[in-house]
Chains A and B, each alone.
Chain A
């Protein structure tokens, strides 16, 4: 079965650079969530989208922005990167048809800021 796809899987950037992370939800899933997991930390909710509109916002810095496109894929844009942005970024998707509460997580993108 198709799962959530994230790209790239690994990304190395320098301070003050920008990064774009991509998420492709499970086919027919209309809701996408982004989470950030720092080293040794639990995942923290950043932002979610439903039908291309932002549906909820968590602890996402102002330097980050995200959007969901017409094909339901989502991109997380991160600017002026800081060392503390080094983390594993997970995308999850769910569907409003069926069990909306069941979020399926992607494998994550590991971002390292030098």
Chain B
């Protein structure tokens, strides 16, 4: 079945690293994504990783994928107060197109 799970809350101090974890169930996922949503705003694609990769780094963001365990993580280095938002893990499922299945979102609180 299609299911994406992630913890609901994470609190870190400014300057620390944040690690948001996610597990998914569909082994046919081709791409896995991290989206950021600020209050009342739309979805911002932060980064994505192809399922045959195990790591991707993009400036302060590092994505790690353990395909065997179906585990995805997002590490934000030097977390800033502007990083406070909800972070959605998502997977794309091939059907007629590539619909995206989202996790419930992790709310990141960054304390100054």
Q: Do A and B bind each other?
A: yes
Hey, which bits of chain A sit against chain B, CB under 8 A?
31, 33, 35, 41-45, 48, 50, 54-56, 58, 90, 92, 94, 100-108
The majority secondary structure among interface residues of chain B is: strand
What is the size, in residues, of chain B's interface with A at 8 Å between Cβ atoms? 22
Determine if B96 and A42 form an interchain contact, defined as CB atoms under 8 angstroms apart: no
Hey, which bits of chain B sit against chain A, CB under 8 A?
30-31, 35, 41-45, 48, 88, 92, 95-105
Determine if A45 and B45 form an interchain contact, defined as CB atoms under 8 angstroms apart: no
- The docked-state distance in angstroms from the alpha carbon of A17 to that of B20 is 41
The majority secondary structure among interface residues of chain A is: strand
- The docked-state distance in angstroms from the alpha carbon of A94 to that of B96 is 13
Closest B residue to A106 by CB, please name it.
Answer: B42
Name the B residues within 8 Å of A92 (CB-CB).
100
Name the A residues within 8 Å of B92 (CB-CB).
101, 103
